[in-house]
């Protein structure tokens, strides 16, 4: 409909802009259509609503908006559509489980220098998450992509293996310098999502959660013959929290 027609009919009319802004709506409609060919026809495009007075003079022009031109002017406005972008934003803020780091020996750990120590992640919850977005019930299916261990000595390792305690451990780390180290593990998450009008598909982007730190006290193991009159026993002061002295 042209502006001349609008002025003649004294109605609200749309003028059309670039359709690229509506790509997420178009993609969402195509997915719903593929899942259910009976969904109503949609034609998404960007438009500006133009307001005319009784004399046919433009009184106002609304900001651009993405609309479905398949609807007639008398149809009620559809509810806002939940898109990949909507769910992606929610995925960044929805509470995801934090992994729990474990070590053999357990934290606070007394660790021997130059000896491999097994680390592992305890069971982590990957149950579906149910949220309501724009009035639509949405289910998010989170999954762990991998785990990144930070051993506190400028060493990290990334693995898809959650590991296991000794003697079945599969992920380990060997410290080469004595000291006190904080150990954490970060889970990297991806997810799928679905709703009553949207077939299950991937959520764009990823999220991460990090465990509380566990402390590893690393010492060199030395054998001292206490009945040797020439033996010198360790006399260096130590931190009362040092796990190697509190065990």
Does the structure show a pLDDT above 70 at 97?
A: yes
Does the structure show a pLDDT above 70 at 16?
A: no
Q: Is 135 exposed, middle or buried (0-12, 13-18, 19+ CB in 10 A)?
A: exposed
What was the pLDDT predicted at 157? 97
CB contact at 8 A, 171 and 135? no
Q: For 92-98, what is the mean pLDDT?
A: 96
CB contact at 8 A, 134 and 86? yes
Looking at 39-53, 155-169, 185-199, which range is the least confident one?
A: 39-53
CB contact at 8 A, 247 and 110? yes
Q: Where are the alpha helices (DSSP H) in the chain?
A: 3-9, 23-35, 84-91, 243-246
Total-model pTM? 0.65
What was the pLDDT predicted at 75? 61
Q: What are phi and psi of 31, to 5 degrees?
A: -70, -45
CB count within 10 Å of CB 149 equals 23
What was the pLDDT predicted at 91? 97
Q: What class, spelled out in words, does domain 86-246 have in CATH?
A: mainly beta
Residue 233's pLDDT band, with cuts at 50, 70 and 90, is low
Residue range(s) in the chain whose domain bears CATH number 2.60.40.10: 86-246
| Residue 142 structure tokens | 């989170």
Q: What are phi and psi of 103, to 5 degrees?
A: -140, 150
Q: Pick from 157, 142, 243: which is nearest to 189 by CA?
A: 142
**Euclidean distance between the first and final Cα of the chain, in Å?**
84
Looking at 32-36, 159-163, 202-206, which range is the least confident one?
A: 32-36
Phi-psi region of 114 (alpha: psi -120 to 50; beta: other; left: phi over 0): left
């Amino acid at each position: 409909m042209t502006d001349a027609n609008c002025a003649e009919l004294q109605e609200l009319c749309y003028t059309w802009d670039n359709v690229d802004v509506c790509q997420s709506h178009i993609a969402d409609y195509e997915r719903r259509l593929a899942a259910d060919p009976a969904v109503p026809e949609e034609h998404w495009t960007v438009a500006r609503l133009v307001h005319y007075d009784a004399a046919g003079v433009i009184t106002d022009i609304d900001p651009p908006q993405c609309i479905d031109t398949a609807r007639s002017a008398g149809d009620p406005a559809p509810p806002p559509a939940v898109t990949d972008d909507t769910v992606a934003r929610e995925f960044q803020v929805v509470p995801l489980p934090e992994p729990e780091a474990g070590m053999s020996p357990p934290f606070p750990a007394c660790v021997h220098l130059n000896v491999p120590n097994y680390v592992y992640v305890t069971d982590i919850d990957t149950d579906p998450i149910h949220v309501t977005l724009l009035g639509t019930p949405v289910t998010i299916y989170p999954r762990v992509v991998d785990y990144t261990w930070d051993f506190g000595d400028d060493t990290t390792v990334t693995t898809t293996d959650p590991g296991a305690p000794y003697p079945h451990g599969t992920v380990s780390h060997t410290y080469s310098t004595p000291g006190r180290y904080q150990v954490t593990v970060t889970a990297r998450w991806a997810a799928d999502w679905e709703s009553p009008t949207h077939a299950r598909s991937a959520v764009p982007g990823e999220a991460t959660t990090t465990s509380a730190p566990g402390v590893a006290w690393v010492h060199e193991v030395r054998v001292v013959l206490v009945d040797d009159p020439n033996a010198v026993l360790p006399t260096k002061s130590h931190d009362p929290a040092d796990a190697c002295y509190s065990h």
